Amino acid sequence: MNDFLIVGGGVIGMMTAWQLADAGHEVTLIERGQCGHEASWAGGGIVSPLYPWRHPESISQLSRWSEDYYPELAERLLAETGIDPEYRQKGLLYLRVDDEAEAIKWAQQMNKPLERVDADFLYDKEPNLAPCFDDALWMPTLGSIRNPRLGQALRAKLQSLVNVTMQEGVEVQGLQYRNDQVVLKTRTGPLIAAQVILCGGAWTGQLLKTLGLELPVHPVKGQMMVFKTPPISDGRLLLERVVLADGRYLIPRADGRVLVGSTLEHADFDKTPTDRARASLYASAVAMLPALARCEVEHHWAGLRPGSPQGIPFIGPVPGIKGLFVNAGHYRNGLVLAPAATRLLVNRLLGQTPILDPTPYQW
């Protein structure tokens, strides 16, 4: 029997599997599609909550730990898999922020650099932005990753580990609790392990329903687009750093591509991209960076965020069900929170001192 069965191969499931395997355990990861192809692929890759001062302290705690850890994580994945998750720490420019005082106060408390900068500074950093902004808030330490590559690197890492079994294309159809044991039902037969960890993202609530349990994790659809930008002659990209205005953001990739995101839609489990969202994202992108009007829209997609009350993830044991754990509901911040959120649960599973107080994340 395996030590651990993990359901769901997004960043949460994969990082959990990696850490448990690193500690010498036998781990099986069950994924109904291919690992890293749902929300963890669809996201933008900002390694911070969008407006971090607007979130509860429990999110800031996880985020701070993860942000500190991301450079090391990316370096390790590149060295061990040859796949570069493209962690870049180029900072973020906030445009038109109406709660600046709260932002500055939060930054002081968190010991984060955040300052108001004038138009000269702004256009020196990003000369191609629309010429309509008087100032900005500047957070120089903000990082981003290319999350589809993060997913590929994690998957490659797991494939290289002898104590990890990856079962892709296998759906867990439901859970049963028999004789103090959690049983996973699959098309090919039941699966059991000493401990089962549910990392099913937006679908985690559905899985728990099969046990008669209600976890308030629900899908929140997000649509994004990517523009392919032409090579720039002086070696400078059209956009170098993340820019955020009125809830919409532009994220540059190292090869010059620019992503625009995102919508927030309550549309059940429907992932169909819509013309309406495309037009709205396009308008936001061109309003911030007019040169994008001359660039090709390479792709437009949608993903399902695992929404939860206040965006606080559920991390820990499922009450009343021995051997069952959950790590889900990271909402808009699962990519940034993943390292800390998974480490916190692994601490619990392995009887280690927790990196953070786990209380705010209990079911």
For ligand FAD, the binding residues (CB under 6 A) are 7-13, 30-33, 37-40, 42-46, 171-172, 199-203, 207, 222, 224, 261-262, 303, 305-306, 328, 330-336
Nearer to ligand FAD, 151 or 323 (CB): 151
- Give the nearest distance from C-beta 336 to ligand FAD in angstroms: 4
Nearer to ligand FAD, 306 or 316 (CB): 306
- Give the nearest distance from C-beta 321 to ligand FAD in angstroms: 17
What distance in Å separates the CA atoms of residue 252 and residue 14, rounded to the nearest whole number?
A: 25
Nearer to ligand FAD, 45 or 316 (CB): 45
Nearer to ligand FAD, 135 or 343 (CB): 343
Nearer to ligand FAD, 135 or 304 (CB): 304
Nearer to ligand FAD, 3 or 171 (CB): 171
- Give the nearest distance from C-beta 243 to ligand FAD in angstroms: 13
What distance in Å separates the CA atoms of residue 104 and residue 332, rounded to the nearest whole number?
A: 22
- Give the nearest distance from C-beta 230 to ligand FAD in angstroms: 25
Nearer to ligand FAD, 136 or 250 (CB): 250
Helical pair 147-159 and 11-22, crossing angle rounded to 10 deg: 30
- Give the nearest distance from C-beta 255 to ligand FAD in angstroms: 18
Point out which residues pair with 317 in neighbouring strands. Answer: 325
- Give the nearest distance from C-beta 231 to ligand FAD in angstroms: 26
- Give the nearest distance from C-beta 222 to ligand FAD in angstroms: 3
Residues 6+ apart with CB under 8 A from 4: 17, 20, 25, 26, 27, 28, 193, 194, 195, 196, 197, 349
- Give the nearest distance from C-beta 220 to ligand FAD in angstroms: 8
Nearer to ligand FAD, 88 or 305 (CB): 305
- Give the nearest distance from C-beta 46 to ligand FAD in angstroms: 4
- Give the nearest distance from C-beta 118 to ligand FAD in angstroms: 27
Q: Which of 177, 164, 222 is nearest to 13 (CA)?
A: 164
Nearer to ligand FAD, 289 or 304 (CB): 304
- Three-state helix/strand/coil letters over the chain: CEEEEEECCCHHHHHHHHHHHHCCCCEEEEECCCCCCCHHHHCCCEECCCCHHHCCHHHHHHHHHHHHHHHHHHHHHHHHHCCCCCCECCCEEEECCCCHHHHHHHHHHHCCCCEEEEHHHHHHHCCCCCCCCCEEEEECCCEECCHHHHHHHHHHHHHCCCCEEEEECCCEEEEEEECCEEEEEECCEEEEEEEEEECCHHHHHHHHHCCCCCCCCEEEEEEEEEEECCCCCCCCCCCCCEEEECCEEEEECCCCCEEEECCCECCCCCCCCCHHHHHHHHHHHHHHCHHHHHCEEEEEEEEEEEECHHHCCEEEECCCCCCEEEEECCHHHHHHHHHHHHHHHHHHHCCCCCCCCCHHHCC
Nearer to ligand FAD, 32 or 64 (CB): 32
